[in-house]
C-alpha cells in the first residue's frame, strides 16, 4: 500500500509557528504566507483516527484548489499557489471564529438532531413532517463555533453577533458569500451528475477585506449525493448513494463508536483503509470530471519540503 503522511514537522525558511489541526498542518511563514499541508489523516466525530488514508491529502488539496479558482469571482480567496500536490500556500488571514455550514437537504447530523425531536437548528426553524434526505425549500445556514480543540458547537446568528464573534455587517457578507458559493458548487456538481447536499466555508480578513480560506467542496467539508438515483431512493425511503466522509462515520457507528468518552476506535484493517482511499479518489474524479493522477508516493515528506522551500526562496 502507498505511504500515508500522518504527521509533518518541517522547518521552512522564516517559519514562525506551526499549527497541527485535525487533518491539516499549517505553517506561518513570517506572518506573510500560510503553508497548508493536507495530510492523509482522517477524522470523524472530531477524533483523528489511528491510520492515515493514502492519497487523501492530495485529493483534498487538489479539489479545494480547483474550487477556489472556480469561485474567485464571487469572493477573493487566500490561495496564492499549490507548489506540491498536498500543499497550498496562501495569504496569512485573521480567521473569523465561526464555520458557515449550509445545508440543502435534511441529512447527516441535521437529520439526527431532527429525529431526536428538535424542530430548530442553530435558530433556524425546521417544519414538521420532513423525511431523511428531503430537500429544503431554500438552503439553510447552520453555523458552528470553530473550536481550537474538541467539538465545534452549534450557534445561532444572533448569538454570533451578540457575543461579538462577527460584526453584524460582516456576518451579512459571510451569509451572502456562503449562499453564492453553495449555488456555484451545486451548479458544478450537477454538471458531473452529483448533488451538493451540504458543506462548510471558513472566512478570514486581511485589514477590512474578507477572504475565503481553508478548503471548499471537498469530501471532508461537503456531502454529495448521486443525482440520477436521488428521487427513486428518496421515494422508497432508501439510503442515498453518496460520496462524502459519511460512510466512514456510518462504519464507525456500526461498530459502536461515536467519539464519546471511553469508546475505543475500532480496528482499521488495510482492506478498509484501501476502500476509503478508493472512495476519495472516486469523488475526485466524479466531482472534477478528471482522472486522478497519483503523485509520487515515495519519500513524500522530502518532496513536500523541497517543493515548498523552492517556492518560498523565490517569493519571500
Average pLDDT, the chain: 95
Q: Is the dihedral of CA 208, 155, 120, 214 positive or negative?
A: positive
Question: Are 118 and 237 found together in one domain?
Answer: yes
The answer to the question of residue 64 being in a domain is yes
Give the start-end residues of each E strand in 39-97.
Answer: 43-44, 47-48, 79-84, 87-91, 94-95
Question: Are 146 and 136 found together in one domain?
Answer: yes
* Domain limits for position 108: 95-244
**pLDDT tens-digit map of 7-28:** 999 999 999 999 999 899 999 9
Question: Are 105 and 175 found together in one domain?
Answer: yes
Residue 63 sits in a domain whose CATH number is: 3.30.200.20
Question: What is the mean predicted confidence (pLDDT) over 224-245?
Answer: 93
Beta bridge partners of 26: 19, 36
pTM: 0.91
Rg (C-alpha) for the chain, rounded Å, is 19
Res. 150 pLDDT band, cuts 50 70 90: low
**pLDDT tens-digit map of 49-84:** 999 999 999 999 999 999 999 999 999 999 999 999
**pLDDT tens-digit map of 180-201:** 999 999 999 999 999 999 999 9
- Residues near 118 by beta carbon (within 8 Å), at least 6 away in sequence: 126
Whether pLDDT at 148 is above 80: no
**Count of structural domains within the chain:** 2
Question: Are 75 and 169 found together in one domain?
Answer: no
The answer to the question of residue 7 being in a domain is no
- Using DSSP's 3-state secondary structure scheme, residue 77 falls into strand
**Percent of the chain, pLDDT > 90?**
89
Question: Are 124 and 194 found together in one domain?
Answer: yes
Whether pLDDT at 171 is above 90: yes
Residue 113 sits in a domain whose CATH number is: 3.30.470.20
Amino acid at each position: 500500500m502507498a505511504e500515508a503522511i500522518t504527521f509533518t514537522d518541517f522547518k521552512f525558511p522564516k517559519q514562525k509557528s506551526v499549527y497541527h489541526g485535525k487533518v491539516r498542518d499549517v505553517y506561518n511563514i513570517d506572518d506573510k504566507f500560510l503553508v497548508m499541508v493536507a495530510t492523509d489523516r482522517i477524522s470523524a466525530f472530531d477524533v483523528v483516527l489511528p491510520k492515515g488514508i493514502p492519497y487523501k491529502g492530495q485529493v483534498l488539496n487538489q479539489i479545494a484548489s480547483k474550487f477556489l479558482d472556480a469561485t474567485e469571482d464571487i469572493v477573493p480567496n487566500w490561495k496564492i499557489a499549490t507548489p506540491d500536490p498536498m500543499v497550498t500556500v496562501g495569504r496569512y488571514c485573521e480567521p473569523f471564529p465561526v464555520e458557515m455550514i449550509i445545508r440543502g437537504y435534511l441529512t447527516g447530523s441535521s437529520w439526527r438532531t431532527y429525529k431526536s425531536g428538535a424542530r430548530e437548528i442553530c435558530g433556524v426553524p425546521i417544519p414538521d413532517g420532513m423525511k431523511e434526505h428531503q430537500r429544503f425549500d431554500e438552503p439553510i445556514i447552520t453555523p458552528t463555533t470553530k473550536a481550537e480543540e474538541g467539538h465545534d458547537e452549534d450557534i445561532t446568528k444572533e448569538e454570533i453577533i451578540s457575543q461579538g464573534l462577527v460584526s453584524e455587517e460582516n456576518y451579512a457578507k459571510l451569509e451572502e458569500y456562503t449562499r453564492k458559493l453553495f449555488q456555484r458548487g451545486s451548479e458544478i456538481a450537477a454538471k458531473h451528475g452529483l448533488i451538493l447536499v451540504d458543506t462548510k466555508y471558513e472566512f478570514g480578513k486581511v485589514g477590512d477585506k474578507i477572504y475565503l480560506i481553508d478548503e471548499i467542496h471537498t469530501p471532508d467539508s461537503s456531502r454529495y449525493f448521486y443525482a440520477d438515483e436521488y428521487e427513486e431512493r428518496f421515494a422508497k425511503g432508501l439510503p442515498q448513494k453518496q460520496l462524502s466522509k459519511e460512510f466512514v462515520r456510518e462504519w464507525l457507528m456500526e461498530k459502536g463508536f461515536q467519539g464519546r468518552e471511553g469508546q475505543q476506535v475500532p480496528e482499521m484493517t488495510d482492506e478498509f483503509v484501501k476502500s476509503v482511499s478508493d472512495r476519495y479518489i472516486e469523488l475526485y474524479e466524479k466531482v472534477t470530471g478528471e482522472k486522478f493522477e497519483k503523485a509520487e508516493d515515495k519519500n513524500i515528506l522530502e518532496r513536500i519540503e523541497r517543493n515548498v522551500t523552492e517556492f518560498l526562496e523565490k517569493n519571500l
